[in-house]
Amino acid sequence: MNQQIFTIIENKPLTGSVYRLRLGGNTSAITAPGQFVNIKLEGKFLRRPISVCDRSGSMLTLIYKTVGKGTEQLSRMTKGDQLDVLTGLGNGYDLEPSGEHPLLIGGGVGIPPLFGLADELLQKGCKVTAILGFNTADEIFYADEFRMLGVETHITIVDGSAGIKGFVTDAMKDLDYSYFYACGPEPMLKAVYKTSVTSGQMSFEKRMGCGFGACMGCSCRTVTGYKRICKEGPVLRKEEICWEN
């Protein structure tokens, strides 16, 4: 973990509620795709955890959705403003077991950390396929960016207004893959768990207190006991997940 001051380079809306935040600063503590940062906002007691979308040199790209007062406050910040950021949090994805044709599955704001993962898998020589799931067509973001990387990209839309009508699991059934990586809301992850035919890794979205393992506020049950999503996670292997009845 590293505490740094970052300067806003860009804070741009991608949809009505989703923003791309580009920051300049020391990114050296970020070592794996799937890690997250924790942002301090003026007047707020708790920091806001946001997954890392991508990093390139000293530039960090984050994508977030305005869901409360903290992220709404963040959306009003502009180029040149500074942020106190904890970086290098969480364990991130392990690329080693990917095989030759990994499948990336993201839902909503669970999609951004898969972008950096896709880039690294492609550099490793993998053929990468992605399924990006949304509720409506006007929520779509970053599909073109995945395609520009060279990722075979499928879009699922719950209301059928674009792409494949249905959920990410509807698209999974027709694809061959060697391994999967997923990130999104828990109901989606549970459905992916049941549908998947290979091993995989899942990144969980949880409310967090400290963000670095001190408060135990984001613990979840696994086959080897309780783990902290912010510390031992957010990425867990499929085989260690215990779903509540």
* Mean pLDDT value across residues 176-188: 96
Least confident range from 19-28, 146-155, 169-178, 227-236: namely 227-236
**For the segment 190-220, what is each residue's pLDDT rounded down to a tens digit?**
999 999 999 999 998 777 677 776 776 778 8
Q: What integer pLDDT is reported at residue 244 of this predicted model? A: 67
Q: Are residues 80 and 61 in the same domain?
A: yes
**For the segment 33-86, what is each residue's pLDDT rounded down to a tens digit?**
999 999 999 999 889 999 999 999 999 999 999 999 999 999 999 999 999 999
pLDDT band at 221 (very low <50, low <70, confident <90, very high): confident
Q: Are residues 101 and 198 in the same domain?
A: yes
Q: Are residues 13 and 82 in the same domain?
A: yes
Domain range for 78 is 2-89
Q: Are residues 177 and 85 in the same domain?
A: no
**What is the Cα–Cα distance from 97 to 48, expressed in whole angstroms?**
31
Position 209 in a domain: no
pTM: 0.95
Say if residue 121's pLDDT is above 60: yes
Mean pLDDT, the chain, rounded, equals: 94
Structural domains of the chain, count: 2
Give the pair of three-digit tokens for residue 8: 């806003």
pLDDT band at 225 (very low <50, low <70, confident <90, very high): confident
Q: Are residues 17 and 115 in the same domain?
A: no
Comparing 227 with 5, the larger pLDDT belongs to 5
**Sign (positive or negative) of CA dihedral 76, 81, 82, 87:** positive
**What is the Cα–Cα distance from 60 to 55, expressed in whole angstroms?**
4
Q: What integer pLDDT is reported at residue 49 of this predicted model? A: 93
Q: Are residues 75 and 147 in the same domain?
A: no
**What is the Cα–Cα distance from 92 to 34, expressed in whole angstroms?**
4
Scan for tokens 């390139």, then name that residue.
56
CATH code, domain carrying 78: 2.40.30.10
Least confident range from 91-95, 122-126, 138-142, 202-206: namely 202-206
